[in-house]
Amino acid sequence: MNQVQPVAEIQVLELLQAGDDKTLKLVYRQNYQTVVSFILNNGGSLQEAKDTYQETIIVFCEKLKQDGFELNCSIKTFLYSIGRRLWLKQLKRKSRFTTEELNDSEDYLPFEEDKTDEREEQFYAMNQALEQLGEPCRSILKDFYINGNSMEEITQKFGYTNADNAKNQKYKCLKRLKKSFFEVFNNGLVTNEELQRD
């Protein structure tokens, strides 16, 4: 069995950056309650809290991968800040958030708009757009653009008589997806300004 050594945060970060899942698990467990109780205390349900926490971890992982990433606070504070910001955005989207003060239990960092924000918005918009799309469009596009299946496989799977029919269907689906994706992406952006106005 491996001897477990005390690990400093900097080493934790290095392990995380190297993609060590055990460390990720530990960090996940360690910070769950802090972020989840923040959301429960600010009008979230348990499901929302869990989802937002998982998104927090995703954003954290993405930030870790960015060039020149540097952490100047504890991981806990960092995660709390990300989770806080994500929850604020969520409240904005649901427009449940009026002028009430948030109930904070920790210090947090104000974030600058950066690349991860764009990725978040992209993901959100793509998710929305795919959901609005309905079947079979959603599955066709997912199979082709996300799972990397070939047009022949799709023709067979969805029972099209020939590849050209399938292609035509895919073309129509993509057109619709494109429309709703950009609609959500361009209108749904919650800007930093809006977040700081409160």
Q: Indicate the residue among 8 and 99 with the shorter CB distance to other proteins.
A: 8
Q: Would you say 91 or 177 has its CB closer to other proteins?
A: 177
Q: Is 82 left (phi over 0), alpha (psi -120 to 50) or beta?
A: alpha
Nearest Cα to Cα of residue 89 among 54, 124, 64? 124
Measured from the CB atom, the residue of 128 and 197 that comes closer to other proteins is 128
For CA atoms 112, 113, 114, 117, give the dihedral sign: positive
Closest CB 192 distance from other proteins, rounded Å: 20
Helices 46-65 and 9-17 meet at what angle, rounded to 10?
A: 80
Tokens read off for 192: 């930093």
Show the DSSP H helices in the chain as ranges. Answer: 9-17, 21-40, 46-65, 75-94, 115-133, 137-141, 151-157, 163-187, 192-196
Residue 171 C-beta: closest distance to other proteins, Å: 5
To other proteins, the closest distance from the beta carbon of 194 in angstroms equals 22
Q: Judged by CB, which is closer to other proteins: 70, or 197?
A: 70
Minimum CB separation of residue 86 from other proteins in Å reads 13
Interacting residues with other proteins (CB under 8 A):
4-9, 11-12, 21, 24-34, 36-37, 40, 45-46, 50, 54, 57-58, 61-62, 74-76, 105, 119, 122-123, 125-127, 145-146, 167-168, 171, 174-175, 177-178, 181-182, 185
